[in-house]
Amino acid sequence: MPEYNNKADYLGSWQFQTKVSASLKVASNEREIIELYESGENLIGLQGGDLYESLGGRGVGERAGNEGTVGLKLDLGQLVIGKSNYLFASYCKISKPLKPWYTIWVVNSPIIGHRRISPKSHPSDGLLDIVEFSLSFRQSKKAYKRAKSGDHLPHPQIKTSKKRTYIIKARGKRKVVIDGKKIAYSKEISISIIPHAIAVVLL
């Protein structure tokens, strides 16, 4: 089945009605989303972070209670380096240590650090968004400045694609950062998507 048919199926079922209990666990950033997912939670509150901003969170901090609210099913990214596995909620950033402006972003959230790195990304479509920067240092600075509004795209030296899985086999080691945390340097990296892994309600 083509990827975009699957995308339509995921986007057709990512919202649902739910009730919020007083015991609802709450995440305020992407790392806490992963921690709660790994602890077995399948519905959590979300009140901060890149995904919260991307999904239109207002920062009011209110719980809907028994009258019900809208739940949102979100994808998570899975990263394999050697025998180690990692999860990310917003993004994985892969860059050359000596030329960090040569960067590959593997994205689940359209907004990263208040910049629209991948403005057409959707955190519930069952796909990873790949944004490959092959710019000079000066061009890269300009592009990241324009990324605040998403105007850095389209660009002939910024390649974009959508994939379920993404594999890197580089000549030299790459620096790997997920959700703001450096985790490794590696030549071989395998990344995949876990569709609708966890559900959130915006607080």
pLDDT-wise least confident of 55-64, 81-90, 103-112: 55-64
pLDDT for the residue numbered 64:
54
Provide the mean pLDDT of the chain. 88
For the residues 17-24, what does the mean pLDDT come to?
91
CATH of 78-195, one of 3.40.50.2300, 3.40.190.10, 2.60.200.40, 3.40.50.720: 2.60.200.40
- pLDDT of 45: 96
Q: Which residues contact 148 (CB under 8 A, 6 or more apart)?
A: 114, 115, 116
Cα–Cα distance for residue pair 196/191, rounded to 1 Å:
16
The band of 118, judged by pLDDT with boundaries at 50, 70 and 90, is confident
DSSP track, 123-171: TTSS-EEEEEE---HHHHHHHHHHTTTTTT-SBTTEEEEEESEEEEEEE
| Cα distance between residue 200 and residue 203, in whole Å | 9
What's the pLDDT score for residue 5? 46
- Percent residues over pLDDT 90 in the chain: 65
Residue 135 has pLDDT above 80, yes or no: no
Q: Which of 64, 169, 77 is nearest to 118 (CA)?
A: 77
Q: Indicate if the pLDDT at residue 143 is higher than 80.
A: no
**Strand, coil or helix: what is 27?**
strand
* Structure confidence at residue 1 (pLDDT): 31
Measured over the CA atoms of residue 48, residue 53, residue 57 and residue 58, the dihedral's sign is: positive
| Mean pLDDT along residues 41-56 | 96
What are the boundaries of each domain within the chain? 3-75+198-202, 78-195
